Amino acid sequence: MDIRLDELVRSGDFRTMRQGLLSLDLPTLVDELERLDPDDRAVAFRMLPKALSVRVFELLAPELQGELVSQLRSRDVATLVEELDPDDRVTLLEELPASVARSLLHGLDPDERRMTLAVLGYPADSVGRRMTPEVLALPSGSTVGRALRLVQAGQEEAETIYMLPVVGDGRVVVGVMSLRRLLASDPEAIIDDLMSEPITVQATQDQEQAARTVRAHGALAVPVVDAERRLLGVLTVDDAMRILLDEEHEDAARAGGTDPLRRPYLATSVWRLVRSRITWLLFLILAAALTVNVLDYFEDTLAQVVALALFVPLLIGTGGNVGAQAATTVIRALALEEVRPRDVWRVLRRECMVGLLLGVTLATLAFGPAAWMTDWHIAVVLSASLVLICTMAASAGGLIPLLARRVGVDPAVLSAPFITTFVDGTGLIVYFLIARAVLGL
């Protein structure tokens, strides 16, 4: 059904609206709510039956949860927050002003508060923040039959029962059992004889790295442990998936020159869109200031042969693009650990070759038309510059992400502005130096 929620909210026809809302399936309902303005969203949200509102709240983007919390009465809020998983609750608390977050924490029952605080204690990008402490563990030495009874008794509380950590003294993880294996085994067997080597992640480890571990092993969940391998919680495939997709999105946004929005486009204000883009544009304008200076320096050469100006956008555009291509490829390879900082020479050799081949191809194609438009001297200048600029740009595009990683900065953030600055400035210098040499100025 094609309902226009925003029109319904504004028309004030709440009966039709409530019917409209209830006719949607859960994901569509969440989508539709996320497309509304914040005020309209609060109105629509209040019309939902309580059980449904809890499920919708869970699925909303954390930023929108934060906004809603400030618009609802505090009793409603307490219920909503209580129903969230500890890890999702932490994400929400991070979105709220400190005073609101504190009062929410105090409203929780002691057990839930303890778990939430445990998760809140870990560093911002660590696994600890994304794990859920609600994990069901099997004591080492149990029989399969006893383990199955433990699963049946404890499953209400646990986030997953499909991956079951086996723990020894002091909750040290000694293995993992899959529920699948458990069901297939003789009830009298001892789980220690059946369990597999545990693949674990440390709570203080980086989220993305941990998520890649989950993915590389095709696991439904992995136990999260402390430095002594004691069980703290579990990281599930859902959470891993969200971490990896957020990361990919971040890289895609950065490649396009914006900060990731982290909220639906239509629910983002124009000011927030401007803010997500202005930093990168300011960087670029500084890079561009360099090109203005270079052109200023060569103004005499330009005045003598105005035709040289014709190819400036073409050269800069091509150089920037060749650099961006190399950087995009290498940034991704670094993120996937296909390339490591020690591979710097291998990468440089390849990108240098790729840039040279691209440059020669483009120079060959450009020579004819350029000679026809101007004269063959300028066409020679253009072609030689294309070859050199492409080679330099690809090399810089391959190198800069590796150097960024070495000095411990996110390659996706640092690379684009640096490459643009480098390629634009040096590209023009190369062009004019070749021009002076060939044209004898």
Under rule CB under 8 A, residue 256 binds a copy of itself: yes
261 three-state secondary structure: coil
Q: What gap in Å lies between CA 101 and CA 51, rounded to an integer?
A: 23
The residue among 119 and 308 lying less far from a copy of itself, judged by its C-beta, is 308
Question: Which residue in 128, 233, 320, 411 binds a copy of itself (CB under 8 A)?
Answer: 320
Q: Which of positions 166-185 make contact with a copy of itself (CB under 8 A)?
A: 179-180, 183-184
* Helices marked H in 268-343: 270-297, 299-304, 312-335
Nearest-approach distance from CB 291 to a copy of itself, in angstroms: 4
The residue among 35 and 436 lying less far from a copy of itself, judged by its C-beta, is 35
Q: What gap in Å lies between CA 296 and CA 197, rounded to an integer?
A: 66
Site string for a copy of itself, 185-204 (x = CB under 8 A): --------------------
Q: Which of positions 48-77 make contact with a copy of itself (CB under 8 A)?
A: 59
Question: Which residue in 67, 87, 88, 424 binds a copy of itself (CB under 8 A)?
Answer: 424
Question: Which residue in 77, 119, 138, 316 binds a copy of itself (CB under 8 A)?
Answer: 316
The DSSP annotation for 110-153 comes to HHHHHHHHHHHTS-TTBGGGT-BS----EETT-BHHHHHHHHHH
Q: What gap in Å lies between CA 131 and CA 121, rounded to an integer?
A: 12
Site string for a copy of itself, 230-249 (x = CB under 8 A): -------xx-xx--xx--xx
**Count residues contacting a copy of itself (CB under 8 A)?**
107
Q: What gap in Å lies between CA 101 and CA 78, rounded to an integer?
A: 11
Nearest-approach distance from CB 100 to a copy of itself, in angstroms: 26
Instruction: Using the rule CB under 8 A, give the single segment among 72-80, 94-102, 222-230, 275-283 that binds a copy of itself.
Output: 275-283
Q: What gap in Å lies between CA 293 and CA 299, rounded to an integer?
A: 10
Q: What's the distance, CA 440 to chain centroid?
A: 52
Q: What is the CA radius of gyration of the chain?
A: 29
What letter does residue 92 receive in the DSSP assignment? Answer: H
The residue among 60 and 104 lying less far from a copy of itself, judged by its C-beta, is 60
Question: Which residue in 282, 409, 437, 441 binds a copy of itself (CB under 8 A)?
Answer: 282
Q: Which of positions 113-132 make contact with a copy of itself (CB under 8 A)?
A: none
